[in-house]
Chains A and B, each alone.
Chain A
Amino acid sequence: MTAPLLHVRGVETYYGNIRALNGVDMEVHRGEIVALIGANGAGKSTLMMTICGSPQARIGSVHFDGQDITRLPTHEIARLRIAQSPEGRRIFPRMTVLENLQMGASLDALKHFKEDVEKVFTLFPRLKERQSQRGGTLSGGEQQMLSIGRALMARPKLLLLDEPSLGLAPLIIKGIFEAIKVLNKSEGLTVFLVEQNAFGALKLSDRGYVMVNGRVTMSGTGKDLLANPEVRAAYLEGGRH
């Protein structure tokens, strides 16, 4: 097997004196969909933010595409084509849908803007209808689509999705997971997603990691994890709430 696209080794991240990640090892290979599941406060989002360099890992290293990115500032990490749809979507509410997508394409100075916008609009036709509407006036699902679309505009090598299903209706979640699958299959896009919706995420993914208290406690293929009794008990069968 070739070297992984993203390789996290022994990462420890702190918020002040509080240790949020406690020696995390994980990897994402090219063309994979990898899911990270876990309960609230397990450190899933922290790991995602650590990959993006804010906050930076105090111990351990993050390698992307053979390059050490542990100490790079966030915007330089983004320039290596790691695009992120952050937690809470973080679209630009007063800017229109099109302007939001423009911001996503700022790395390439809009060179292939039109072409990429069309791609995003084929993936999410709803955004096309709403293109001149303000981001803040979109529904939650549309905002999530916009957030993913904006990330795609950067032509990423790795797409990071932080809780894409958060606060959305089941039907919309299905649509968004469907879109992720399509991106992965047709474009070979590598996706790393953090989810509380363990069932949907594991079903979608090639591989998965389970995180508890800042540590990765289990890993395996999506199917294996889905079948694993511990995972089932903790995250699938009433374990959540």
Chain B
Amino acid sequence: MEYEIVIGLEIHAELKTRTKMFCNCRNEFGAKPNTLVCPVCLAMPGALPAMNRTAVEYAIRAGLAMNCSISSFTKMDRKNYFYPDLPRAYQISQYDRPLCYDGYVDIDVNGQYKRIGIERIHLEEDAGKLIHDACVTGSLVDYNRCGVPLIEIVSRPDISSPEEARIFLETIKTILEYVEVSDCKMQEGSLRADVNLSVRKPGDLLGTRTEMKNINSLHAVQRAAQAEADRQAAIISDGGSIIQETRRWDDSRGESYSMRNKEEALDYRFFPEPDLVPVVIEKERIEEIRKDLPELPTSRKDRYINDFGIPWYDAQLITQSRPLADMFETAVGVCGNPKLVSNWIMTDIMRRINEDKDFLSVSSLDGKKLGRVLDLLHKGDITPNSAKEILDILALEGGDPDAIIEKRGLKVQRDESLIAKAVGEVLDQNPQAVADYRSGKEKAFGFLMGRTMAALKGRADPAQVREMLIHHLNKQ
């Protein structure tokens, strides 16, 4: 029996504001535990929250990038539950008036667009971090992350396969990076997803769903969704029924397990946060923020495919990272040859990124320099080997492409007398090969060509060398 899979994702993204959501503590990853804290984020008696303006604006940017409507009136609510990472024992979140609602994103499933609805995006705060210390008979709590602004993006249950779930998350991640509101560092937990999933027989009503919380890699989302779909299908096929529950996904074991009906005991007792006043957003402000948005990945990708003739796969990969796409466009602007740039990005630059994921942010090799190198290559002023060598130097040491070419003498040799001299020397030193060629052995030409190019240290136009070589061979 084939089952349909119905998936909705809840994605939590930390906003990269300078300070926390409700206090002036720095929003930073990796500091010594409990050094980025104050009475407000530790919920000391009488400490009150004060809302970060930038967090609100970032959330609106994210909402607009996901085609959401922005509420003209929004407010914060308290979500009450006890857990040691939540000092107030309530999370300041949004209940019935989310900041953004009714949006969508188009995901690209192997070249086919599919529209996934965004039910809402709301603002809230992150919790602290629990460290499970084997040395003490307990857990340690670090509140540095506590109060970092978060948006929760809730999709509609429009996702119908584990692969789509991964692609959806990847799409959201890319959009958030493009609009520069979140670092989306999944390994640091600044982007996490909850997977809500149910299965049903085609045509049936929605089945009972389960929720898997805090999954923090793209592939884990796909694996978790697949495993859960299989688990549910197996239960139903055996005549069993699904229990609505929260499950924990263990990515290393590749299986999930029940969190003992934790949800059942919870009753969040939402009510409006009395310590904060409503936020009213003017239409003009929304339009200002909208105008300020960059071109988004889908639109860029379509443009690269349609206007530049870049293959789908390349365009998809390049637009998945804004810095990479920016590099691409800058380089194209300099050298005017999109296909050449895309080829080099897909090979040379991707190799460097695979070696160091931060390559684009730490290296001084930028789109302008790449464009210049490829422009010279295109014009035949340098050879592909030289281009590679120059990019290596630019990546490791920095500098200016033209200066490097000058200093290293990488410019293609066009002086006919020099080439002629090299050809003459090669022919003199290899009489056997010359004889072979003349007796009709074509292979010998390749050998002589190689020798000549080597004598010229590779820095000559092969066509010119070839022509000269043929000329000399035929002359004698």
* Genuine A/B complex: no
Residues of A whose CB lies within 8 Å of any CB of B are: none
Residues of B whose CB lies within 8 Å of any CB of A are: none
